[in-house]
């Protein structure tokens, strides 16, 4: 039946600020679909940005910036990714810490995007 995730909508208050963060800080490729929709590519999956004051339908019942809790896989060792964040003056709230991922043990660090969404950056762990 279902085979995977095509896209996930992220509600944001400022499209430009969100695009800058996700492209500059997280390295996602940007695809502009139209004036109101931007896709940030994560492999073959998109984080689709919708700004709160645009008229896009349909949307969730209560689209709310800052309500997302998302875990993204990282190829780099987390210490290297943390150095990248430090160089950009991006605060890490927690980590690295051991967690359980969808397919086994992971190590994670936690940070927030400009709207306050919680982003967990993880890497498979041998623990």
φ, ψ of residue 71 to 5 degrees: the values are: -110, 125
| 55-114 per-position pLDDT tens digit | 888 888 888 999 999 999 999 999 999 999 999 999 999 999 999 999 999 999 999 999
Question: How far apart are alpha carbons 107 and 72 in whole angstroms?
Answer: 11
Question: How far apart are alpha carbons 68 and 110 in whole angstroms?
Answer: 13
pLDDT of 60 reads 87
Q: Which of 80, 93, 107, 120 is catalytic?
A: 120
Q: Is 120 a catalytic residue?
A: yes
Enter the pTM of the model. Answer: 0.92
């Amino acid at each position: 039946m279902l085979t995977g995730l095509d896209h996930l909508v992220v509600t944001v208050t400022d499209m430009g600020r969100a695009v800058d963060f996700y492209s500059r800080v997280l390295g996602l490729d940007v695809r502009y679909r139209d004036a109101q929709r931007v896709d940030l590519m994560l492999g073959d999956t998109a984080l689709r940005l919708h700004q709160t004051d645009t008229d896009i339908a349909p949307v969730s019942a209560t689209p709310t910036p800052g309500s997302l809790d998302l875990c993204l896989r990282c190829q780099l060792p987390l210490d290297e990714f943390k150095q990248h964040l430090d160089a950009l003056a991006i605060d890490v709230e927690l980590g690295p810490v051991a967690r359980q991922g969808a397919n086994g043990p992971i190590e994670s660090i936690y940070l927030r995007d400009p709207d306050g969404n919680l982003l967990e950056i993880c890497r498979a762990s041998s623990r």
